Chains A and B, each alone.
Chain A
């Protein structure tokens, strides 16, 4: 590490004092490159990328000034981060600390990733800019859990509200929907990324190019993209059908756009046919998930589903009553 420090000291003597906190020369070079491009960006210690113990919040605001230099910076970013990854040593998968490395995130980082998934931008790759090659399992796991429970709860709430309007509907807690919601959301969020990752790796074998995303990064992409469905599901409580379809379309558009913008850099080097088919399958599966949620959890119960016999038998009794009424009235 000290040799790396000296190396940069030769080129940038005024920045010598910043040398000790950094633990890697490549990180320092990257920082000085970026400083040279954007002199008014705030300098903060980036040591959180390599040393898990010292957690300092990264100055996320400085990301906004990178706008014009996306492509150039992306290449240097990739190279620097790849080198970092090779330098890190992974503990064995049987140790607890192996799994702890997937939960090595702060509150601010999780919130930043959620924001990044809510506002997808064409040049702004989610994996490079927000994950920064440190995917986490916290986000995908708890977003899926929240979505599953919110689906079950709001589905039940719509039934309650429907019963208010139409007392003939039979209300029941429908607890089995929690199980269904949980299983389907988790299967989607883990099996589809697995299939996608497998497919991309197979294509990588066919065409030599720079790495597709790791499995965890794919899981992260999908997990964080499901976040926008949570407010959508809550807004589906409003019992206006066209509004529900509007919200659904909006949320699906945002989510699918996020997925497409993130997958595009990896897929664009492949043949046109494979790229379009892959992206359309991804969007289609996402749309199927949204529609399945809407139709299964928010179905408005048709009235004939509910206790028809009492209604039929009540009619003859009404008819039987009315002839007797004049008779009862007559004596009085």
Chain B
């Protein structure tokens, strides 16, 4: 990851504001995900900070309350984490085994950043759930989740599809579809206690 070393013992030699530069890079990638077009920014300067922030946010919001029963509730923080990261690693391995020419961390970076629309959907769902429960409430949440799911798929395919030979593209894209589908399902079935 592109990050300058900050040496506390040498205030004169530390480069100005490396944290801001990193945050700006993360923000720029967020913009690239929200408005996906053919560009190599996500692939060239990959970083895993964005996926980490998104994953932690999603896992915190999806976490079930401690008052909920042990067995029957929604996913725990660790379960969301495991699903996101192991899912991303499995998809990356699958893509590489099929003969794709994308590097391991580039693929993780793309898959992690493309969770952004679903995190936004989670935020919206939590806000909508503050209103009265009912079929309208559910329809709104369903619509939002479906739109964001489609957005995630489109964004990640825009970046990942080119790395596969054309006769295997569907094989590489299907696991991505499954991955975002599972995350969308977790978001849709979230019920606050």
Nearest CB on A from B182, distance (A): 6
B71 to chain A: which residues have CB within 8 Å? 176
Q: Does B178 contact A (CB under 8 A)?
A: yes
CA distance A234 to B175 in the complex (A): 19
Say whether A108 contacts B167, CB under 8 Å.
yes
A145 with B178: in contact, given A100-B97, A173-B190, A176-B71 (CB under 8 Å)? yes
> Which residues of A lie under 8 Å from residue B165 when comparing CB positions?
55
Q: A55-B167, A107-B167, A149-B182 are in contact. Are A174 and B72 (CB under 8 A)?
A: yes
**Contact present for A138 and B182 (CB under 8 Å):** no
Q: Kindly list chain A residues whose C-beta atoms are within 8 Å of the C-beta of B76.
A: 175
As a 0/1 sequence over residues 79 to 97 of chain B, the CB contacts with chain A under 8 angstroms (1 = contact) are 1000000000000001011
What band does the interface of chain A fall in when counting residues whose beta carbon is under 8 Å from B?
A: 20 to 34
CB-CB < 8 A to B124: which residues of A? none
In the complex, are the beta carbons of A175 and B97 less than 8 A apart? Answer: no
**In the complex, which residues 74-112 of chain A have their Cβ closer than 8 Å to any Cβ of chain B?**
96, 99-100, 102-108, 110
Q: How far is the CA of A169 from the CA of B190 in the complex (A)?
A: 17
Q: Which residues of B contact A156 (CB under 8 A)?
A: 185, 189
Interface flag for B40 (CB, 8 Å):
no
Chain A interface main SS type:
helix
Binary interface profile of A, 130-161, with partner B (CB < 8 Å = 1, else 0)?
Answer: 00000000100110011001000100100000
What is the bound-complex CA distance between A104 and B76, given in angstroms?
37
The chain B residue sitting closest to A100, CB to CB, is: B97
Q: Quick check: A105 and B181 within 8 Å, CB to CB? A: no
Residue among B74, B96, B98, B174 making CB contact with A175, cutoff 8 Å? B74
State whether A142 touches B174 (Cβ < 8 A).
Answer: yes
Q: When the two chains form their complex, are residues A103 and B98 in contact, meaning their CB atoms are under 8 A apart?
A: yes
A296 within 8 A of B: no
Which among A57, A102, A105, A172 has the greatest number of chain B C-beta atoms within 10 A?
Answer: A172
| Complex: A108 Cα to B165 Cα, angstroms | 13
B178 with A138: CB separation less than 8 A = no
Q: Does A66 contact B (CB under 8 A)?
A: no
Cα distance, A243 to B175, chains bound together (Å):
31
B69 at the binding interface (Cβ < 8 Å)? yes
Q: Say whether, besides A100-B99, A138-B94, A156-B189, A173 and B167 are in contact (CB < 8 Å).
A: no
Interface assignment of B75: CB less than 8 Å from any CB of chain A? yes
Interface check A12, CB cutoff 8 A: no
Which residues 65-121 of B sit at the A interface, judged by CB distance below 8 A? 68-69, 71-76, 79, 94, 96-99
Proximity bits, A164-183, B CB within 8 Å = 1, else 0:
00000001111110000000
Shortest Cβ distance from residue A38 to the other chain B in the assembled complex, whole angstroms: 26
Residues of A within 8 A of B189 (CB): 156, 173
Instruction: Report which of A100, A138, A142, A173 forms a contact with B191, defined as CB distance below 8 A.
Output: A173
Residues of A contacting B75 in the complex (Cβ-Cβ under 8 angstroms): 173, 175
In the complex, the answer to whether A99 meets B178 with C-beta atoms within 8 Å is: no
Q: B128 on the interface (CB 8 Å rule)? A: no
| Complex Cα gap A287–B72 (Å) | 28
Distance in angstroms between the alpha carbons of A141 and B172 in the assembled complex: 13
Closest chain B residue to A145 by CB distance? B178
In whole angstroms, what is the CA distance A20 to B174 when docked?
37
A-B contact pairs, 11 of them (CB 8 A): A103-B97, A106-B171, A107-B168, A110-B171, A142-B174, A156-B185, A156-B189, A172-B74, A173-B72, A175-B74, A175-B79
Given contacts A55-B165, A103-B97, A149-B181, list 14 more A-B pairs with CB under 8 A.
A99-B97, A102-B97, A103-B94, A105-B168, A106-B168, A145-B175, A171-B191, A172-B72, A172-B74, A173-B72, A173-B73, A173-B191, A174-B73, A175-B76
